[in-house]
A and B are shown apart, each in its own frame.
Chain A
Amino acid sequence: MGVPTVPMITQRFEELVTTTAFKKGIPNLRIVYTPHPITDRPKDLCEKYVAGNDPLAGRPMLGEIYAGLTKKLSEEDSRGGFLKRDPRPRLFEPDTRDNLMEFFHQQGYTDGNAIILPTEQKVAEMLKATSREPDEWVGQMRPSPPHEAWYYTVEMVAVNAVMAGAKPEYFPAILAIAAKGVTSMFSSTSSFARMVVVNGPVVKEMDMNTGIGALSPVNRANSSIGRGWTLISKNLGGSGKPGETYLASQGNNLSYNNLCFPETEDGLPPGWEPLHVQKGFKKSDSVVSIFSGWSINDIAWYSPLPQHEVIRGWLEHFFSFGTSQATLILDPIVAADVASNGFGSKEAFAMFLAKNTGTPGWLYWSEHPRELKQAQSGVEPYAGWLKQGREAVVPVSRYMGRRRNSSSFISSQENNEPTTSIEIVVTGGGTNTFWSGGDFGYVGSSSVDQWR
């Protein structure tokens, strides 16, 4: 900013803020800390906080602010230049397998599970699965927007693919994921999860599991491709260090594998396009598609209602951190049931759901204080909705009118055609009428073929 500045941060984020200040080029930034948290604290407690000490300095908070804005700078703080970073050797010093495995764990290079040690020979085998040069840049990735981005080559992705236990034939799919530059370990205090769906001929080429247990750890490709993304996010994207580059308060178990599965394209009902075709690719293309969210439910509800009504009812009352987006993962027999009730495409079903789901009253009114005031002042239609009771469903969809990250849907929006944030994917073995639903939203797709 070029003016004397003091940032105030809660004490819980000391490690984050000091390392971030270093990475932004101000290693001695004058930071003042407050007790944690300051959100949702009553007025009298806030007054007590500011009258008290900076909890880390142990000195009065106001005095620390004043000193931070007035104390004379050292010569070092007034100087420009470059800050020293740790060197990055391409190879590590020779050591035993046990010691190296321990070293990788200690350095935070793993997901806490054993890895395949990336010898030059194994990495060379992996590299044979792509026509790209080892030193070609693949992309950049960062833990979250305020963090610095790290850069990586084809060879560096191959090292992580070996560590994840991937076969060389999976490598183009892993490169396609890495090329998107989206971390699977997003650094937020909310515990994000990611999902990756694979479509096209590469599914059969890699022998992925599209059947029973498609979302379970029973197939090497499903497992190691998803795991590879986690290792890439840590080692090439600089994420995963708790308190510094990973802040998820509770964390997310889905991050071990990132819900990596293929769509069961041969189980799609007539008229239902595979996900990658919906996103503008040809059916013969091989594609990975990335989603972001937090949580997922696995559901089968035996009732006289048809499946589409059960799903609609669930979607109306579904509540999680991401309240305005949803992805449904339908077993092929659920998709067939839905299609038999007149839904000739995924888009038709998604639009039906978006148009026919309201918002639970408690959620709507808590998120719309202005409308609540209008309702209380008798302004319609809010007053009529509130008259039904605070808990009654409000006829406003949470899933309409949001842009999808696909060129076709952007143009749809420009034409004022309605859009929905609901995505539908089909996978599973057809052993029962199960489906999964969660707060995942579509992020983007990437061609596998360009990395062959």
Chain B
Amino acid sequence: MRTKSLYIMSVIMIALFGSSYGWVADEEKIVVMNPRGIQPEIRKIPMAPRAETLDGRTVYIVDTKYPNTKPFVEALFEALKSKYPKTNWIVREKFAGYMDDDPKLWAEIKEKNAAAIVVLGH
């Protein structure tokens, strides 16, 4: 009888110890390292001042030439010309592909003190 009681107590102790050990292992806190790289700082660019009206001004509609978007650019041009006839609307294709920069065109727009709409795909 005494042997049987000792055996049961041993089983209970082992079970308690085991579960306790497992609980400690799961709840152990560790420190890990950040996998992220360094993001660059962002210099804020002030937006260009707006005029109260576009009457008498020129606005470039810059077509970045995303494939097969010409009908949209043309529809936009016609609609703007019709709704705001006192503004000079110009459609201009950007140099090279839609991912390429076109500093010459940007300089031209700035030199003419114009505004711009840049139409992108997709």
Partners in one complex: yes
Return the chain B residue nearest A118 by Cβ.
Answer: B33
Fill in one digit per residue for A4-29: 1 if any B CB lies within 8 Å of its CB, else 0.
11111110110000000011111111
Residue B79 is within 8 A (CB to CB) of chain A in the complex: yes
- Contacts A88-B39, A118-B32; A12 near B75 (Cβ below 8 A): no
Residue pair B38, A150 in contact (C-beta under 8 Å): yes
Residue B45 is within 8 A (CB to CB) of chain A in the complex: yes
Within 8 A of B (CB), among A45-73: 46-47, 49-51, 62, 65-66, 69-73
- In the assembly, what is the distance between CA of A412 and CA of B22, in Å? 66
Residue pair A82, B44 in contact (C-beta under 8 Å): yes
Number of interface residues of B (CB under 8 A): 58
Partner of B47, one of A78, A100, A119: A78
Contacts A39-B66, A73-B47 given; 20 further ones with Cβ under 8 A?
A2-B48, A5-B118, A7-B118, A7-B120, A13-B122, A26-B47, A43-B75, A46-B75, A70-B52, A77-B46, A78-B46, A79-B46, A82-B41, A83-B43, A92-B32, A97-B26, A119-B33, A141-B37, A146-B99, A156-B35
Shortest CB distance B113–A (Å)? 7
Contacts of A91 in B (CB 8 A): 31-34
Residue pair B122, A12 in contact (C-beta under 8 Å): yes
Residue pair A78, B122 in contact (C-beta under 8 Å): no
- In the assembly, what is the distance between CA of A78 and CA of B47, in Å? 6
Number of interface residues of A (CB under 8 A): 91
Which of A's residues lie within 8 Å of B, judged by CB? 1-10, 12-13, 22-30, 32, 34, 36-43, 46-47, 49-51, 62, 65-66, 69-73, 77-83, 85-86, 88-98, 100, 104, 109, 117-120, 123, 141, 145-146, 148-152, 155-156, 159-160, 163, 189, 231, 235-238
Residue pair B42, A23 in contact (C-beta under 8 Å): yes
Fill in one digit per residue for B47-65: 1 if any A CB lies within 8 Å of its CB, else 0.
1111111100001000000
- Contacts A9-B120, A80-B43, A82-B43; A119 near B50 (Cβ below 8 A): no
